[in-house]
Structure 1
Amino acid sequence: MKQHEKRLKEIEKEFIKVALIDAPGTILFGLGLYGKFAADGDAFIPMLNNQQLVNAFLLLGAAIMAWGAFMMIKLAKEKSRLQNLQG
Protein backbone atom coordinates (compact mmCIF):
# COMPACT_ATOMS: atom_id res chain seq x y z
CA MET A 1 0.00 0.00 0.00
CA LYS A 2 2.80 2.40 0.83
CA GLN A 3 4.21 2.12 -2.72
CA HIS A 4 0.81 3.01 -4.17
CA GLU A 5 0.59 6.14 -2.04
CA LYS A 6 4.11 7.15 -3.00
CA ARG A 7 3.36 6.67 -6.69
CA LEU A 8 0.12 8.67 -6.36
CA LYS A 9 2.12 11.59 -4.96
CA GLU A 10 4.60 11.27 -7.84
CA ILE A 11 1.73 11.30 -10.33
CA GLU A 12 0.40 14.53 -8.82
CA LYS A 13 3.83 16.12 -9.27
CA GLU A 14 3.97 14.85 -12.85
CA PHE A 15 0.54 16.40 -13.53
CA ILE A 16 1.96 19.77 -12.47
CA LYS A 17 5.07 19.34 -14.62
CA VAL A 18 3.01 18.41 -17.68
CA ALA A 19 0.71 21.39 -17.11
CA LEU A 20 3.71 23.74 -16.88
CA ILE A 21 5.16 22.35 -20.11
CA ASP A 22 1.76 22.45 -21.80
CA ALA A 23 1.09 26.10 -20.94
CA PRO A 24 3.55 27.61 -23.48
CA GLY A 25 2.08 25.35 -26.15
CA THR A 26 -1.38 26.68 -25.41
CA ILE A 27 -0.09 30.24 -25.54
CA LEU A 28 1.68 29.62 -28.86
CA PHE A 29 -1.45 28.04 -30.30
CA GLY A 30 -3.60 30.94 -29.10
CA LEU A 31 -1.21 33.50 -30.59
CA GLY A 32 -1.21 31.51 -33.82
CA LEU A 33 -5.00 31.56 -33.97
CA TYR A 34 -5.01 35.28 -33.30
CA GLY A 35 -2.42 35.90 -36.01
CA LYS A 36 -4.25 33.67 -38.47
CA PHE A 37 -7.83 34.81 -37.98
CA ALA A 38 -8.04 38.03 -35.97
CA ALA A 39 -4.95 40.18 -36.61
CA ASP A 40 -5.77 40.99 -40.25
CA GLY A 41 -2.31 42.50 -40.79
CA ASP A 42 -2.50 44.71 -37.69
CA ALA A 43 -1.39 42.44 -34.84
CA PHE A 44 -0.45 43.80 -31.44
CA ILE A 45 2.89 42.01 -31.91
CA PRO A 46 4.27 42.71 -35.41
CA MET A 47 5.69 39.20 -35.81
CA LEU A 48 2.12 37.86 -35.76
CA ASN A 49 1.64 39.46 -39.18
CA ASN A 50 4.14 36.96 -40.62
CA GLN A 51 2.03 34.01 -41.80
CA GLN A 52 4.95 31.58 -41.87
CA LEU A 53 5.67 32.33 -38.22
CA VAL A 54 1.98 32.12 -37.36
CA ASN A 55 1.80 28.69 -39.01
CA ALA A 56 4.86 27.59 -37.04
CA PHE A 57 3.20 28.80 -33.82
CA LEU A 58 0.08 26.81 -34.66
CA LEU A 59 2.03 23.67 -35.49
CA LEU A 60 4.35 23.82 -32.50
CA GLY A 61 1.56 24.79 -30.12
CA ALA A 62 -0.65 21.96 -31.36
CA ALA A 63 2.18 19.44 -31.02
CA ILE A 64 2.91 20.50 -27.44
CA MET A 65 -0.79 20.45 -26.56
CA ALA A 66 -1.21 16.97 -28.09
CA TRP A 67 1.75 15.69 -26.08
CA GLY A 68 0.30 17.29 -22.95
CA ALA A 69 -3.09 15.70 -23.53
CA PHE A 70 -1.50 12.30 -24.12
CA MET A 71 0.53 12.56 -20.91
CA MET A 72 -2.45 13.78 -18.86
CA ILE A 73 -4.60 10.87 -20.06
CA LYS A 74 -1.80 8.40 -19.37
CA LEU A 75 -1.27 9.76 -15.86
CA ALA A 76 -5.01 9.89 -15.14
CA LYS A 77 -5.39 6.24 -16.13
CA GLU A 78 -2.51 5.21 -13.90
CA LYS A 79 -3.86 7.29 -11.02
CA SER A 80 -7.31 5.73 -11.41
CA ARG A 81 -5.83 2.23 -11.52
CA LEU A 82 -3.83 2.84 -8.34
CA GLN A 83 -6.81 4.34 -6.53
CA ASN A 84 -8.93 1.31 -7.46
CA LEU A 85 -6.24 -1.00 -6.05
CA GLN A 86 -6.26 0.93 -2.78
CA GLY A 87 -9.93 1.20 -2.19
Structure 2
Amino acid sequence: MTTDLQDKTSIKKSILMIQLLTLPATIALGLGLYGVVAVQGDAFHPVLNNREFCYFLIVISVLIDVIAVIKLIPLFKAQKGLAR
Protein backbone atom coordinates (compact mmCIF):
# COMPACT_ATOMS: atom_id res chain seq x y z
CA MET A 1 0.00 0.00 0.00
CA THR A 2 2.74 2.45 0.86
CA THR A 3 4.63 1.63 -2.32
CA ASP A 4 1.51 2.42 -4.36
CA LEU A 5 1.23 5.74 -2.58
CA GLN A 6 4.92 6.44 -3.17
CA ASP A 7 4.54 5.50 -6.83
CA LYS A 8 1.55 7.80 -7.21
CA THR A 9 3.36 10.72 -5.63
CA SER A 10 6.50 10.17 -7.69
CA ILE A 11 4.44 9.95 -10.89
CA LYS A 12 2.58 13.15 -9.97
CA LYS A 13 5.90 14.88 -9.26
CA SER A 14 7.30 13.77 -12.60
CA ILE A 15 4.21 14.95 -14.46
CA LEU A 16 4.32 18.31 -12.69
CA MET A 17 8.03 18.77 -13.44
CA ILE A 18 7.57 18.03 -17.14
CA GLN A 19 4.62 20.40 -17.32
CA LEU A 20 6.59 23.16 -15.59
CA LEU A 21 9.53 22.62 -17.93
CA THR A 22 7.29 22.90 -20.99
CA LEU A 23 5.63 26.10 -19.80
CA PRO A 24 8.29 28.38 -21.39
CA ALA A 25 7.97 26.43 -24.64
CA THR A 26 4.21 26.96 -24.63
CA ILE A 27 4.66 30.67 -24.01
CA ALA A 28 7.23 30.85 -26.81
CA LEU A 29 4.80 29.04 -29.11
CA GLY A 30 2.15 31.64 -28.34
CA LEU A 31 4.58 34.49 -28.98
CA GLY A 32 5.70 32.91 -32.24
CA LEU A 33 2.15 32.49 -33.45
CA TYR A 34 1.38 36.05 -32.37
CA GLY A 35 4.35 37.30 -34.37
CA VAL A 36 3.37 35.37 -37.50
CA VAL A 37 -0.42 35.68 -37.49
CA ALA A 38 -1.51 38.73 -35.52
CA VAL A 39 1.23 41.30 -36.01
CA GLN A 40 1.46 43.47 -39.07
CA GLY A 41 4.81 45.04 -38.16
CA ASP A 42 3.48 46.55 -34.94
CA ALA A 43 4.42 44.04 -32.22
CA PHE A 44 4.91 44.97 -28.59
CA HIS A 45 8.55 43.86 -28.95
CA PRO A 46 10.61 44.54 -32.09
CA VAL A 47 11.97 40.99 -32.33
CA LEU A 48 8.44 39.67 -32.90
CA ASN A 49 8.30 41.66 -36.16
CA ASN A 50 10.95 39.30 -37.59
CA ARG A 51 9.11 36.40 -39.24
CA GLU A 52 12.15 34.11 -39.31
CA PHE A 53 12.59 34.46 -35.56
CA CYS A 54 8.89 33.73 -35.01
CA TYR A 55 9.11 30.61 -37.18
CA PHE A 56 12.17 29.55 -35.18
CA LEU A 57 10.20 30.00 -31.94
CA ILE A 58 7.35 27.91 -33.31
CA VAL A 59 9.60 25.06 -34.45
CA ILE A 60 11.60 24.88 -31.23
CA SER A 61 8.46 25.09 -29.11
CA VAL A 62 6.70 22.34 -31.03
CA LEU A 63 9.77 20.09 -30.73
CA ILE A 64 9.92 20.61 -26.97
CA ASP A 65 6.19 19.99 -26.62
CA VAL A 66 6.40 16.79 -28.69
CA ILE A 67 9.23 15.50 -26.51
CA ALA A 68 7.16 16.34 -23.44
CA VAL A 69 4.14 14.45 -24.79
CA ILE A 70 6.33 11.44 -25.54
CA LYS A 71 7.53 11.49 -21.92
CA LEU A 72 4.08 12.19 -20.46
CA ILE A 73 2.16 9.37 -22.18
CA PRO A 74 3.84 6.53 -20.21
CA LEU A 75 3.44 8.50 -16.98
CA PHE A 76 -0.28 8.99 -17.59
CA LYS A 77 -0.66 5.30 -18.40
CA ALA A 78 1.17 4.35 -15.19
CA GLN A 79 -0.97 6.77 -13.23
CA LYS A 80 -4.13 5.28 -14.68
CA GLY A 81 -2.88 1.76 -13.91
CA LEU A 82 -2.26 2.65 -10.28
CA ALA A 83 -5.68 4.24 -9.93
CA ARG A 84 -7.41 0.90 -10.52
TM-score norm. by structure 2 comes to 0.90
- Give the % identical residues: 32
Q: Distance in 2 between matches of 1:74 and 1:42?
A: 43
| Alignment map for 1:17-56 (pairs within 5 Å) | 17-56=17-56
Q: Distance in 1 between matches of 2:82 and 2:43?
A: 48
Alignment length (residue pairs): 84
Q: Which amino acid aligns with 2:42?
A: D
Question: Which digits, 9 at most, give the CA deviation of each residue in 1:17-65, with x for residues without a partner?
Answer: 0111111110010000000011111111100111111111000111111
Question: Which digits, 9 at most, give the CA deviation of each residue in 1:65-87, with x for residues without a partner?
Answer: 11222222221101111222xxx
| Alignment map for 1:67-86 (pairs within 5 Å) | 67-84=67-84
Q: Distance in 2 between matches of 1:44 and 1:53?
A: 15
Gaps of 5+ in 1: none
Q: Distance in 2 between matches of 1:16 and 1:64?
A: 16
Superposed CA RMSD in Å reads: 1.2
